[in-house]
Structure 1
Amino acid sequence: MLADDPIQTAVARALADNMNDGGGKNADYIAALASVDPTLFGISVATTGGDVFNAGDADVEFALESISKVFTMALAMEEVGAKAFRAKVGTDPTGMPFNSVLALALHADKPMSALVNAGAIASASLISATNAEDRWHKILAGQSAFAGRSLSLSDAVNASEQSTNFHNRGIAWLLYSAGFVYSDPMEACDVYTRQCSTMVTTADLAVMGATLASGGINPLTKTRVIRAENVPHILAEMTMEGLYEASGDWAYTVGLPGKSGVGGGIVCVVPGRLAIAAFSPRLDQFGNSVRAQAAITQIAAEQELNLYLAG
């Protein structure tokens, strides 16, 4: 890759311009995330042609967290089809925090979106499996196929998450009581918690996003990961709920489908072209990385990537 490539230049500039932004703080309700170095900052762009551009701490692994919801949703949609997935999980934004019980109560305990915790637990339960280990290994294999390399679980992050996931266990039982979880509810909650503890780099995350940008084909391995017809549904979900309560503002100002995680990562997809991923642990009040948002916003503006731009 040429050092003077306009994308590489934009990535490097976004890192430099936002490096000194000290806003936000690490997620502190999960001990393993609270202890991550808050100064880490990495940015990557992966194109549908297989080029990857990096800057900063792009090779540092971090927990996938809620970004994992996108890829479990994709696998579940592959298994049951987009129409059935919509009926079983839902495809509407809640307008409430990602772990809201009130959002469930207002809709007869139906999760509404695969990108909030309730919907993610329901998505995990839709993966056909003989037991929890089988379900988990299918999800991990799916994440790895999107990344183009073998990903692994962080035992430390998983232990920290499993020891604090009582709220999610309650959500799982509410789903079960209403018929919107499709396996043992505690198994679904356990596997969902594990999927959040997979470790990735921004380079991995950019390739995962670029697989969606490529219509379901990994740009590095050239392997089809999901069917092309499911990609528009996934990107629509990311547009509506990908950055939680800030999703509408993100669509209004940046114009790209995205997904954030409380580990500090964000990925955005430009269909047919590329994906941008950024990581920095300090979060805003909605659980979205402060510096990752700023970096992606800057790159998207400079490269005129907003999907709603005319011409």
Structure 2
Amino acid sequence: MDTADLQALMDRIVESVREVDDGEPHELPVHREADRDLTALALVDSEDDRMASGDSDVAFPVQSMSKAFAYGLAIDTVGLDTVFEHVDVEPSGDAFNRISLEAGDRPDNPMINAGALTVHALLPGRTGEERFRAVHDLLSRMAGRHLAVNEDLVEQELADAHRNLGIAHLLKALGVLPGDPHDVVQGYTRQCAIEATTVEFARMAATLAHDGVVPGTDEQVLSPLAARQVLSVMMTCGMYDDAGEWVTSVGLPGKSGIAGGIIAAVPGRCGIAAYSPRLDTHGSSVRGILALEKLSGELSLHLLRPGLAKI
């Protein structure tokens, strides 16, 4: 498909999903006050060619999409075997904030909060602030600029962090969580408040799709092993208790966040991102899922579909 046809397709998809008014933004004030009509779709390939439609220049917090990148960074920091000793890779079938622990007391996977908190504790640095800076540096390098942090979101999240603190204290009591629970929760909360645009998130997804190399550059920000592991877990666990529906309808490694963003990767080809703040009951963007489902279908991107994608 040539550039003009792809742009026209993305424009049609964005306009079609704008008509959907299901779902509500997350209850946190930063998200609740977002413009509910905002809708965006972006695609970035290995050469850093960028296609975008809708409100693609609006920045929003990464939220749980950061879990994927932190997981890759932890693998490159302490090694896959060590990460696996702390966090499993099995789908939990539970919501993102449930306390899901397997028989050995490990969190089921790094995409739920229990796993993400443990992964954050394995990042480089002795404090939550240092670990946050490591993730911030990684996302900024993938985006191609120094990314801002939504300090209002940090304040709002920390004011009501009882569940994450409870999870962290339980993990500490079980001997799973390295570090101090309060410090880990604080660093993880700042990690989730990093902001980027839909195009920049698509560029981050494209980095995962190309063995950890930032599109258009030779900068290896994650190892091929880490990138592959991240994509594998995104495929099976990235959409929480909606993962089965996601795999059947979209068929790509994906990760959502409660700000309304979703990233998806087509291995070896491109990264895709969508944004709209209206969420479904699983905490994922209603319009974002529809947009990615339509794009995957139109371009034959589903990884279990015979033949090559049309991009």
- Asked if 1:169 is matched to 2:165, the reply is yes
Q: 2:123 pairs with 127, 138, 155, which one? A: 127
Q: Given residue 60 of structure 2, which amino acid in structure 1 is its aligned partner? A: F
Counterpart of 1:66?
Answer: 64
The aligned counterpart of 2:138 is 142
Report if aligned partners of 2:73, 2:226 keep a CA contact under 8 Å in 1: no
Amino acid at match of 2:251: G
In 2, Cα distance between equivalents of 1:194 and 1:166:
16
1:14-163 equivalent positions in 2, closer than 5 A: 14-28=13-27, 30-101=28-99, 103-104=100-101, 107=103, 109-163=105-159
How many Å separate the matches in 1 of 2:80 and 2:141? 20
> Normalising by structure 2, what TM-score?
0.95
Q: C-alpha separation between the residues in 2 aligned to 1:157 and 1:128?
A: 24
Quote the offset at 1:128 in angstroms.
2.7
Please tell me the residue identity of whatever aligns with 1:304: S
Mapped to 2, the partners of 1:36 and 1:269 lie a distance apart of: 26
- Amino-acid identity (%): 34
Q: Deviations over 1:103-138 (max 9, x none)?
A: 23x535421111000111001100131323222211
1:198: which partner in 2? 194
- Runs of at least 5 residues in structure 1 that lack an aligned partner in the other structure: none
Counterpart AA for 1:176: K
The answer on 1:310 being equivalent to 2:298 is: no
Distance 1:59 1:120 in 2: 28
2:9 match: 10
Q: Does 1:245 align with 2:244?
A: no
What is the CA-CA distance between 1:31 and the residue it aligns to? 1.9
Supply the RMSD in Å over aligned alpha carbons: 1.3
Offset of 1:222 from its aligned partner? 3.0
* 2:214 aligned to which of 188, 211, 218: 218
- Once the two structures are superposed, the pairs formed by residues 219-238 of structure 1 within 5 Å of their partners are 219-238=215-234
Conserved in 2, the CA contact under 8 Å of 1:11 and 1:45? no
Q: Matched residues in 1 for 2:103 and 2:62: separation? A: 28
Please list the CA deviations of residues 17-47 of structure 1 after superposition, one character each: whole Å capped at 9, or x if unmatched: 111100100011x221111111111111011
Q: Does 1:262 align with 2:261?
A: no
Specify the SS of the correspondent of 2:68.
helix
Q: Deviations over 1:244-278 (max 9, x none)?
A: 11111111121101000000000100000011100
Partners in 2 of 1:193 and 1:107 — Cα distance?
Answer: 27
CA distance in 2, matches of 1:187, 1:219: 34
Per the TM alignment, residue 8 of structure 1 is displaced from its structure 2 partner at its CA by 1.6
> Conserved in 1, the CA contact under 8 Å of 2:42 and 2:202?
yes
Following the alignment from structure 2 to structure 1, what is the Cα–Cα distance between the partners of residues 253 and 13? 19
SS in 1 for 2:97: coil
Question: Which stretch shows the higher mean deviation, 219-228 or 42-51?
Answer: 219-228
Give the C-alpha shift of residue 10 in structure 1.
2.0
Tell me, yes or no, if the aligned pair for 1:148 and 1:221 is still in contact at 8 Å.
Answer: no
Does structure 2 retain, via aligned residues, the 8 Å contact 1:108–1:178? no
Are the equivalent residues in 2 in contact too, given 1:109–1:174 (CA < 8 A)? Answer: no
TM-score (norm 1): 0.95
Aligned residues: 306
